[in-house]
Amino acid sequence: MVNRVTSCEEVWREISNYVDGDVDATLRSTMDEHFRTCQRCASVLAGTRNVAQLYGDERMLEVPAGFSRRLEKRLAQNSAGSGRRWSSWSAWLIPVAALALIAGGLQLTNSLTRRHQVKSPLAVPGQNIPADLVVVVSSGAKIFHVPGCPFIHDKDSERTMTAKEAIHEGYAPCARCLRKYLKTSLTGKPGMEVAEGVSEGEEEREELVSASAH
Amino acid sequence: MQIRVPLRIYAREDVRTASKMSEPDMVLKSPRPAGGAREQDLISSVQRGEHESFYELVRPYERRVYAAALAILRNEHDAEDAAQEAMLKAFANIRQFRAEARFSTWLIQITVNEALMRRRRERIVVMEGIDDRRDGGRNEESEYAPRDFADWREIPSEALERKEVRQRLAEALATLDRKYREVFVLRDMEHLNIQETAQALGITVASVKTRLLRARLMLRDLLAAGWEQGWFSRLPFEKGTKPW
């Protein structure tokens, strides 16, 4: 099987490159001539090309039954898993955040609107009393007054402060000297000025309210 | 564990250019599927976060991905798991894909990396080494003399319609040593070019060529022997012709 152009061994060595078209024109021409005269090498060439063509066919790429379905399912799970990771965060994060906001809101509201515990459960809280109004309190009493109020008990222990401070300490406004700030069943509306010609009976009831507050 | 993802794989210059092909009919035409505009649209969609498009993007390549994994792992269950994992890694790293690369090649390289990593991890290579020694001590540098089958007839591609024929071909492929089988599958079944095959397997271009030659010749001999043993005896030959 000797060929005058090239040997069979040389052809075999290059036959794969020849099939791929990866040989230069000179070598290709030489090999072509060899194939025309060498039956064995022509058979090897046919077989090599046949192998590449058969295995290169799409039909050789077989997958197990159900492969596509399982792949699609796993990809979907992965995608959903990403979503679930977010959901698992949001599942507790959102309610916690909401609770925090509610709690913060309540805290803020309380801080703005909370009424301080008054010393007397019967005291009537004041309305719209100026915060910087100078008032006096005395030890042993639960009422704060405008200075000079005749209803101040134990005047020796008077302390002067602002209305805000007094309220903070739990004092209630005097129903006499601070009546215009009181919302009572007698005055009806907060801030209502007491009429000049108030009757004695009314004054007595107001004193009762004040006394009950005491 | 670091995931090896080929960041940039450039489409090859097809060696089978018209100027080089003195006889075009004699040269194999690679059926590498072209991605096309639709594929590029899908890639862009997934990169933008439309995750549901990913399966549509990879579906055309799922068989190639599985075949690449099977060539390396030689076990259907492991290959399927590796193929799925490779798809997930491709999904996770889709933003790293560059348009100048061929998506299918990028996907196959991720699959090869995944399968090779699993083989190293599971020490399958130990068993492969034993298999390789059954090769009679041949090494890839030694000459391989193809058997003399003067009456070789080409197996028509129509034969692949028969599952039995496909099974025989798969069995013949499975008998190859790992190093030959991997190169052959990536080159002739996955249609990676020489450089891509070398890069995917971490070997030289010269080794790819040598192993590919050996793989093709050995398969040719195995199939010719199978021919003699009647593997393809029920092929639909033309009336009046016989394969022997």
The reply to whether A74 touches chain B by the CB within 8 Å rule is yes
> Does the beta-carbon distance from A16 to B169 stay under 8 Å?
no
Dist. CA B66–CA B61, nearest whole Å = 9
Residue A161 backbone dihedrals phi, psi, to 5 degrees: -160, 180
| Largest Cα span, chain B | 62
In the predicted model, what is the mean pLDDT of residues A158-174? 87
* DSSP for A144-166, written as a single string: EB-TT-TT-S-GGGEEEEEHHHH
Contact at 8 Å (CB) between B244 and A72?
A: no
Q: Identify the pLDDT of residue A150.
A: 85
Contact at 8 Å (CB) between B20 and A11?
A: no
Asked whether residue B233 carries a pLDDT value surpassing 50, the answer given is yes
Chain B hits for A19, Cβ within 8 Å: 27-28, 216
Q: Where are the domains of chain A?
A: 8-60, 63-114, 134-213
Dist. CA A60–CA B196, nearest whole Å = 21
Angle between helices B76-92 and B103-121 (to 10 degrees): 130
Chain A with chain B: Cβ pairs closer than 8 A? 159
Distance from CA of residue A71 to its chain's centroid? 35
> Does the beta-carbon distance from A62 to B220 stay under 8 Å?
no
Token digits of residue B233: 């005896």
Pairwise pLDDT comparison (B68 vs A189), residue with the higher score? B68
pLDDT band at A5 (very low <50, low <70, confident <90, very high): low
Dist. CA A41–CA A99, nearest whole Å = 84
> Does the beta-carbon distance from A64 to B16 stay under 8 Å?
no
pLDDT in tens, B80-95: 999 999 999 999 998 8
Chain A hits for B91, Cβ within 8 Å: 75, 78
Task: Choose among A209, A213, A131, A206: nearest CA to A167.
Answer: A131
The reply to whether A22 touches chain B by the CB within 8 Å rule is yes
> Does the beta-carbon distance from A13 to B219 stay under 8 Å?
no
In the predicted model, what is the mean pLDDT of residues B7-34? 44
pLDDT in tens, B115-172: 999 988 876 555 554 444 444 445 666 678 787 766 666 777 788 888 888 888 998 9
- Pick from B70, B216, B227, B232 the residue to mutate for testing the A interface (most A CBs within 10 Å): B216
Report ipTM (2 d.p.).
0.75
> Which residue of chain A has the CA closest to B169?
A55
* DSSP for chain A, written as a single string: ---SSS-HHHHHHHHHHHHHT-S-HHHHHHHHHHHHH-HHHHHHHHHHHHHHHHHTSGGG----TTHHHHHHHHHHHHHHHHHHHHHHHHHHHHHHHHHHHHHHHHHHHHHHHPPPPPS-TTPPPBSS--TT-EEEEETT--EEB-TT-TT-S-GGGEEEEEHHHHHHTT-EE-TTTTGGGB--TTT-STTPPPPTT--HHHHHHHHHHHHHH-
How does DSSP classify residue B8? Answer: -
> Does the beta-carbon distance from A47 to B27 stay under 8 Å?
no
pLDDT band at A187 (very low <50, low <70, confident <90, very high): very low
Task: Choose among B136, B111, B124, B97: nearest CA to B10.
Answer: B97
Q: Could you give the C-alpha distances from A105 to A99, A117, B75, in angstroms and in order?
A: 10, 21, 62
Residue B93 backbone dihedrals phi, psi, to 5 degrees: -110, 20
Q: Could you give the C-alpha distances from B192 to A31, B143, B197, in angstroms and in order?
A: 26, 25, 6
Pairwise pLDDT comparison (A93 vs A98), residue with the higher score? A98
CB count in 10 Å sphere of residue A201: 8
Task: Choose among B38, B157, B69: nearest CA to A52.
Answer: B157
Q: Which of residues 215-234 of B touch A (CB under 8 A)?
A: 216-217, 219-221, 223-224
Asked whether residue B114 carries a pLDDT value surpassing 90, the answer given is yes
* Alpha-carbon Rg for chain B in angstroms: 20
Q: Identify the pLDDT of residue B101.
A: 77
Go through the domains of chain B in sequence order and give each one's CATH number: 32-126 (1.10.1740.10), 157-231 (1.10.10.10)
Q: Identify the pLDDT of residue A116.
A: 53
pLDDT in tens, B190-204: 999 999 999 999 999
The reply to whether A79 touches chain B by the CB within 8 Å rule is yes
Pairwise pLDDT comparison (B180 vs B1), residue with the higher score? B180
